[in-house]
Structure 1
Amino acid sequence: MIDTYDLADDARRIGSRPRTIGEMFALEAPLLRPLPAEPFETGRWFTPRVNRYSLVSVRTNQYSVSVRLIGRRVRVLLHASELVVFDGRTEVARHERLLAKGGTRLELDHYLEALLRKPGALPGATALEQARAAGKFTPVHDAWWAAARKAHGEAEGTRALIEVLLLHRRLAHEHVAAGLAAALRAGALTADALALEARWSADTDTTAPEHASAQNPAGEVTSLTLRRLAQLPTDTRPLPSVAVYDQLLPSRRRRKGTR
């Protein structure tokens, strides 16, 4: 819209001047200095301290960071639509900016280490509710969690889920979700078994839920190595032979007899 107004203004004359704005700018343009090579930073810097709830306060709103940063002062770059948190020069968090006042933006991943020690705090956590609302904690997460709690008990089942959530730091969300679906069908209710399924999904670059059942109709957890070998092309090379080396054996015996 601004570009449209700017182009329309090129035809306007200021007072009784003989040239239009566009004509005068055409004369001045060659005299302008070039734009700087470095981009101009439009964000505003803040240096809040992380409170005991692992939150930083910026412009009346609060945003979460990792629990390991509690008590430390961090650098926050506030843009019009997002907020980036730095520990020194390392980016440690990125949030969509809250436009209203007094809001709180939580990232479930920032609290996982603390929840491993206190798994009972997860079911009622505000961070979990926000993760559900954002689509990061999907129904398949809930289904696997319910099955794990039924099999291992509340505390151990929840701790297994938290270990699964830690996989999101190394694998894409869709691959972990595909691993959850495959593990749930196979009855694999441990974090290690689910990690195999998630890595298999990442290696084959597929997120289709029916992929695992097509590869394994019986619904059993099979060896990841066997799955990979099954996709290799047939080896048509002849088997190796040591017959050439066997020809050296008689000559060695004759030399020994001569001695």
Structure 2
Amino acid sequence: MPFSGYLYAEVTWTQTAEDWLASHVRMFTHLDGVVPKLVPDNLKTGITHASFYDPVVNRSYHELARHYGTGVVPTRVRRPRDKASAEKGVQVVETRVLAALRNRVFFTLDEANAAIRELVAAVNARPLTTDRTLTRRRLFEDREKPLLKPLPAEPFVIGRWSRYKLAPDYHVSIEGVAYSAPYRLIGKHVDVFCTVSLVSIFHKGERVAAHARQDGEPGRGTVTLDEHRPPNHRAAALLTPEAVRAEAAGLGGALGLLADRIFADADHPDQAARQVAGLLRLGRLHGTVALQAAATAALSANVRSCRFVQHLLAKGQVQALEDPAGGLGPHANLRGPVYYH
């Protein structure tokens, strides 16, 4: 802090956008308020293009600043005097915190930060050389904290913005997992905002897709929504062995059993998928009751063929199978009891 010299310090694994932004969130929470202005140097995580007159702030960093209602005013390149307070704070932390911990071994990041917090608190509580009755903490509490802006109702959600040109397969790849976007945007630029749990895809400021973030092996994970597929891809997706078998299982009865036997006998799942898809198509043409009856006849004849079922339905030879009482019914070949008396 510029007036009191009050310090906040922590260690992170990296200086990537996620760690950089999360450190700001934790700092504001520690201060219980928001400073009116942030003065960083020109690290790429914070400043995309360095310029004294018109710097370009990283989009995620800009969103954090807007969320907390503060401004980002970076220093000039290689001008440490532009942030003298920060440079002095770094010197104090190096001599009074890091030097004191140089011989200790930490096995977790939380353990290291706990030790750092303890020593930083001691530095903030140490009497100042100019006035032994004052400390950094006391000056901060009395003079600076009342001038801080209040914290927003919710903390900033850490995420990263990326820009992609949507590929012909209408997916964007995030850490080895492909997420779908509407196929009509193929060849157009989309903005992707990734958080720990959500992947949001935007086009011209409008969110066009949202997916729960997945963990998967690079190049193997795919998350696709059916409404994002073009019509021909939707039709092809309905013919996959998994989709066809699931639909047949949903109808159940003799059809479900016949479908299971067709898949068991097939040399390849795609062969069985086509036959079962043909059975399902016959059900849409002739009705589910007639299809189940034809499937029962096929099972009774130990025939596992879509063509056999189609023949039965085309010839109308399954009507009698719908009679729950069973039997062939009256016909000309029955002799009857009179024949024997």
TM range (shorter): 0.3 to 0.5
Provide the TM-score with structure 1 as the length reference.
0.40
Provide the TM-score with structure 2 as the length reference.
0.32
- Structure with larger Rg: 2
* Structure possessing the higher relative contact order (Cα contacts under 8 Å, 6 or more residues apart): 2
